Structure 1
Amino acid sequence: MQGRGTDSKPVPLLRLQSCLGESMRAIFLSDAHLIDRQEPGYEAVMRFLAGLEGPRKKKAPVEVSGGGGRCDALFLAGDFFDFWFGREGRIFPDFLPVIQRLTDLRDQGVRVVLCEGNHDFFLGDYFIGVLGMEVYPDWVDLDLDGKRVLLSHGDLIDPSNTGAALVRKILRSGFLYRLQRILPAPLVWRAARLTSLTSRRFSAETEGRLVDGMRRFALEKFREGYDAVLCGHSHRPVIEHYETNGCTRTFMTLGDWIHHCSFGVFEDGVFSLSFFQP
């Protein structure tokens, strides 16, 4: 597990398998941009998570359309929250219901893994230190039932976007980390909410450009031996399969929960893209 930091090297994660001896089933989603529990996207995420059941769940899952079922691992690939400044005992009130649901899934045996995005970072203090989940600042290098998978929010993929890299460096600096720890929590939340709402949507042209850059990145990683590359950030749901040396490689961008309610699934050794029907 890893906490606060900005090392951009892939972080190896031990092989993940179903504890039931079955093929593994993992769920991937990103860019829910949760902020207000009354928003449709927030309600959709809660209903979707309610339909998941971990290996140790005793009750039947809630029936939902377009999602749900057994889940061995849940990967949240960045910008799950529209902002995050949390301390051990002070959490933005509207985040509490979804955090409780993630905790319930953890208690059912689901491995909950969070990648930090460009909206939600400094996650480690709470999600590792308090909840015992896993947090990765940049990349997660996975072995899923023998498939080598690279997962990232994706905002670091375009090296030419120096402006975004500079903003990221400033926002994740030690100075801002210490500052948000000492300022009154309601003041930090108010400022974060005002600034985050202005940068949560992309134009169609920007979405396409982001996906193109991620695709080029994925093709490079396929040549390095990865079986799949999954990214968030673009808000556009895309899945493409490539045949290379007799093996199927998968490139996926996970979409969002503002417009698409899309999520990735890994089951029986195959990746697919699905859409939740709220």
Structure 2
Amino acid sequence: MSVPAGKKIYFASDNHLGAPTYEDSLPREKKFVAWLDDIKKDAAAVFLLGDLFDFWFEYKTVVPKGFTRTLGKLAEIADSGIPVYYFVGNHDLWMNGYFEEELNIPVYHSPQEYLINNTSFFIGHGDGLGPGDKGYKRMKKVFTNPFSKWLYRWLHPDLGVKLAQYMSVKNKLISGEDDAKFLGEDNEWLVQYSKSKLEEKHRDYFIFGHRHLPLEIELRGNSKYINLGDWITHFTYGVFDGENFGLKIY
């Protein structure tokens, strides 16, 4: 992938649209759509690193109500020829074709590697990576089990969505927002994960969401760990201009 002169690649994560209610998240959604409208002027590509929604589950013929402004703007950007890449987070694990079919946006369920203008990127949401967090890792296995998803689909969407929204807001083990403070480099699981991946192969940037903290941490060999923050309290995003990466506030 290359970044043409005058173009940039944009990164964002953790909007949690719908939390704590649709009404409360509407101003955030409008702000995010305004950002998308601004960046389409010079975007070479857009990477969304998960938890765009506080809950998302695709039934065979039903998806959650709402988020029309966001989905419409993403469709507009993709239709204009700007590629958009989506990485599922722990709140939208259950994507299953809707983005690909309706929006022409590829969806990834695990981290991916990219070479952009000879700069190497390792990109993912970040949930369940690195040491620790064993409770969530066990829970994720249950959530992503095909039999569990099959059982859940038997719930009427009105009941299933309402139950999941309640759990998403109330259960901090699922939401992952309860410890949104810097734990120190040695205790940040994604930093440790990035360091372990560096033992295998050099990457210039490790870019994640999930932690709701805008972070830039130098690793060995001129590598850098980046956390994109969120669109709840920080409204931060990442920009790569073909040579340098930086975090900005909208």
> So what's the TM-score if we normalise by structure 2?
0.87
Task: State the match for 1:208 in structure 2.
Answer: 183
| TM-aligned CA deviation for residue 124 of structure 1 | 3.1
Confirm or deny: 8 A CA contact 1:221 1:229 kept in the other structure.
Answer: no
Query: Which amino acid in the other structure matches residue 265 of structure 1?
Result: V
RMSD: 2.2
Q: How does 1:157-196 map to 2 (within 5 A)?
A: 157-196=129-168
Query: Which amino acid in the other structure matches residue 51 of structure 1?
Result: D
Residue in structure 1 matching 2:34, options 24, 44, 47: 47
Q: C-alpha separation between the residues in 1 aligned to 2:100 and 2:60?
A: 10
| TM-aligned CA deviation for residue 22 of structure 1 | 2.7
The answer on 1:31 being equivalent to 2:14 is yes
Confirm or deny: 8 A CA contact 1:202 1:234 kept in the other structure.
Answer: no
Unaligned runs of 5+ in 1: 1-15, 54-68
Gap change, CA 1:161 and 1:139, over 3 Å in 2: same
Q: C-alpha separation between the residues in 2 aligned to 1:43 and 1:209?
A: 34
Q: C-alpha separation between the residues in 2 aligned to 1:160 and 1:219?
A: 15
| TM-aligned CA deviation for residue 94 of structure 1 | 1.6
Q: C-alpha separation between the residues in 2 aligned to 1:172 and 1:143?
A: 29
The answer on 1:86 being equivalent to 2:61 is no
Task: State the match for 1:232 in structure 2.
Answer: 209
Confirm or deny: 8 A CA contact 1:24 1:145 kept in the other structure.
Answer: no
Confirm or deny: 8 A CA contact 1:157 1:213 kept in the other structure.
Answer: yes
Query: Which amino acid in the other structure matches residue 50 of structure 1?
Result: D
Task: State the match for 2:245 in structure 1.
Answer: 271
| TM-aligned CA deviation for residue 118 of structure 1 | 0.8
Q: C-alpha separation between the residues in 1 aligned to 2:56 and 2:163?
A: 11
Secondary structure of the structure 1 residue equivalent to 2:135? helix
Gap change, CA 1:185 and 1:103, over 3 Å in 2: same
| TM-aligned CA deviation for residue 185 of structure 1 | 1.8
Query: Which amino acid in the other structure matches residue 172 of structure 1?
Result: T
Q: C-alpha separation between the residues in 2 aligned to 1:159 and 1:216?
A: 8
Q: C-alpha separation between the residues in 1 aligned to 2:112 and 2:23?
A: 29
Query: Which amino acid in the other structure matches residue 32 of structure 2?
Result: V
Q: C-alpha separation between the residues in 2 aligned to 1:236 and 1:181?
A: 34
| TM-aligned CA deviation for residue 88 of structure 1 | 6.0
Task: State the match for 1:5 in structure 2.
Answer: none
Higher share of residues assigned helix:
2
Secondary structure of the structure 2 residue equivalent to 1:128? helix
Confirm or deny: 8 A CA contact 2:56 2:91 kept in the other structure.
Answer: yes
Confirm or deny: 8 A CA contact 1:37 1:94 kept in the other structure.
Answer: no
Q: C-alpha separation between the residues in 1 aligned to 2:75 and 2:23?
A: 17
Q: C-alpha separation between the residues in 2 aligned to 1:260 and 1:271?
A: 18
> 148-157 or 89-98, which moves further after superposition?
89-98
Confirm or deny: 8 A CA contact 2:131 2:192 kept in the other structure.
Answer: no
Aligned length: 240
| Runs of 4 or more consecutive aligned structure 1 residues displaced over 6 Å after TM superposition | none
| TM-aligned CA deviation for residue 139 of structure 1 | 0.7
Q: C-alpha separation between the residues in 2 aligned to 1:203 and 1:146?
A: 35
- The percent of aligned pairs where both chains have the same amino acid is 26
Q: How does 1:141-160 map to 2 (within 5 A)?
A: 141-160=113-132
| TM-aligned CA deviation for residue 24 of structure 1 | 5.3
| TM-aligned CA deviation for residue 158 of structure 1 | 2.8
Query: CA deviation digits over 1:72-91, x for unaligned, max 9?
Result: 11111111110101246423
Query: Which amino acid in the other structure matches residue 43 of structure 1?
Result: K
